[in-house]
Amino acid sequence: MTHPEFPDVFAEDIPSSGELALEDRSALRRVSGLSTELVDISEVEYRQLRLERVVLVGVWTEGSAADVKASMAELAALAETAGSQVLEGLIQRRDKPDASTYIGSGKARELREVVVATGADTVICDGELSPAQLTALEKAVKVKVIDRTALILDIFAQHAHTREGKAQVSLAQMEYMLPRLRGWGESMSRQAGGRAGGSTGGVGLRGPGETKIETDRRRIRERMAKLRRDIKGMKQARDTQRDRRLSSDVPSIAIVGYTNGGKSSLLNALTGAGVLVQDALFATLEPTTRRGHFDDGRPFVLTDTVGFVRHLPTQLVEAFRSTLEEVVDADLLVHVVDGSDVNPVAQIEAVRQVIRDVVSDHDGRPAPELLVVNKADVTGDLAMAKLRRALPGALFVSATTREGLDMLRRRMAELAAPTEAAIDVVIPYHRGDLLARVHADGRVQESQHNADGTRIRARVPVALAARLREFAST
C-alpha cells in the first residue's frame, strides 16, 4: 500500500553516518508524514469503524537514513492494512535495542507521554520483541504493545480464506504466542491440586497440579500438533497436483516478489486469470496456478505465490513451507519488483534471501531468475534511469497498461525452453553410474527398488533423458 507522504517521512534530517553522536543516542525523534488519522468524521461513525489508534516506534541501529525511513513507512503500511489508524511515528538512534524495554526506560516514559497526548491505544514496534521486552514496555506505556511479527501474523490471519491458508496462519500464530503466553494477576498461576479423597491424600498432602498457564501451553501444543498433521495431509494433495505438472514437459513458472509488487496483476495480464488484485499488503496468500501459451504455441503454467517482506517472521516461513515449495520446483522464477517503491533494491534482496532459505532446505538449486520491474507507468523518469543502471538485466513493464508484456513473453519463452525432460525408468543395478548421474544432475521425485533394478521418476537434462530412453518403464 502506497502513501503519498512516505517520501517525506522525516521531519528533520537524520545523519546517515554510522557513528552515534551523543545527541543522536539521546533523541527520540518524531517521524512525520505517517499519520492516517481520519478527519471530518462523527463520533458515531468512528465507533462503528472501531479502528485501533497506534503509535509506531523503531530503533535505528544500522543502515542509512533512507533504510530506516523505508522500514518505518512499511510498518505504517502494514498497520493500515491491519485496519489501524497511525497517529505518530517515533525513532530512537542507539547502537542496539535495550534488552529490557526495547527503547530504554527513559524513552519509554517519553513514549507514554506521546501515547497520552495522542489518545493511542496501541504501540507497534518495528522489530521482534522478546516476551520480557513486551511485558516491560506494556507496563511502561500502559497500553497494548505488539511487535512487527505479531502485526504481520494478524494481517495473514485476516487474509487467509482457504482451509490450508487458515491452518498455516493458525500454526504460525501459535508458534509465536507459545513463548509469550502470560497472565495477569494470580489467575494464570493458580494451581489445581489432586482429587479430594484420592490416594494422593487430602488437604495439605496433595502435590501441585498444573497452573492455568501450563494448561494453556499444553492445549496450544496439542492444537499445534493437530494443525501440523492437517497441513501435512493438505500438502500431499498439493504434491500430487505438482507432481502431475512436473511429470509433463510443460514449463512451470513461479511469480515471486515483494508483497504488493503487482504479481497478481501480472498473472492476470499474462494468462487472463482474473484473480484478486488489491492495493494491500499480502492480498494473496494461497498460490494460484493458471495455464498460458507462448507466442509459438507452447503451453506453460504460471503460479502466483505469496508475497515476501523484510524480516518475514520465521514462523510464517515454516508454516507456509508447502506453499513456498512452488518456488523450489519451478523451471523459471519471474521476480516482480515494484519500480515505484522508494527502495526496490532492498526488496529484491529480501525476496532472494527467503528463496535461498527455502531452496537450501530442500537441497535444491534455485531456478533461473528473470527480474521484472513492474509499475513502469507510475515510476518517475529519474527513478527509472537509476533502476536501469542498478539492474542491467531487468525488464521494465506495466501490468496495468501492458507496456513491455510482449518482450516479457518472449524472454520467458527463451528462458523456459525445455532443458529438462521427465523420465520414468528402471535402471539395472549394475548401472550404478547412471543412477548416480540422475541423482547428481536431476531432480528425483520418486525412487524404489525392485527385482529388475531401481525404478526412478525424475526430471533430468534432455541429453541424459535420451541416454536413459532404453530403460523406460513399461
One DSSP character per residue, 253-270 reads EEEEEBTTSSHHHHHHHH
Task: Give 252-277 pLDDT, tens digit per residue.
Answer: 888 888 877 788 888 888 887 665 55
- Sequence-distant (6+) residues with CB within 8 A of 239 are none
Query: What φ, ψ does residue 59 adopt, rounded to 5°?
Result: -115, 120
Question: What was the pLDDT predicted at 295?
Answer: 83
Amino acid code (one letter) for 457: R
Task: Return the bridge partners of 54, or none.
Answer: 86, 122
What pTM was computed for the model? 0.64
Q: Of 159, 344, 321, which Cα lies nearest the Cα of 257? A: 344
Residue 466 in grid coordinates: 535420451
Determine how β-strand 454-461 pairs with β-strand 443-449. antiparallel
Question: What was the pLDDT predicted at 38?
Answer: 46
Rounded CA-CA distance 325/289 in Å is: 13
CA distances from 62 to 230, 272, 463 (A): 41, 44, 50
Residue 190 in grid coordinates: 493458580
Strands (E), 4-104: 28-31, 52-60, 84-93
Helix (H) or strand (E) holding 449: strand 443-449
Residues of the chain with pLDDT under 50: 1-22, 25, 36, 38-50, 183-207, 209
Question: What was the pLDDT predicted at 304?
Answer: 81
Question: What was the pLDDT predicted at 32?
Answer: 52
Rounded CA-CA distance 56/59 in Å is: 11
Q: Of 353, 357, 346, 402, which Cα lies nearest the Cα of 376? A: 402
Q: Find out whether 331 and 367 touch, Cβ atoms under 8 Å.
A: yes
Rounded CA-CA distance 242/443 in Å is: 13
Q: Which string of DSSP letters, residue by residue, matches 172-195?
A: HHHHHHGGG---STTTTTPBP---
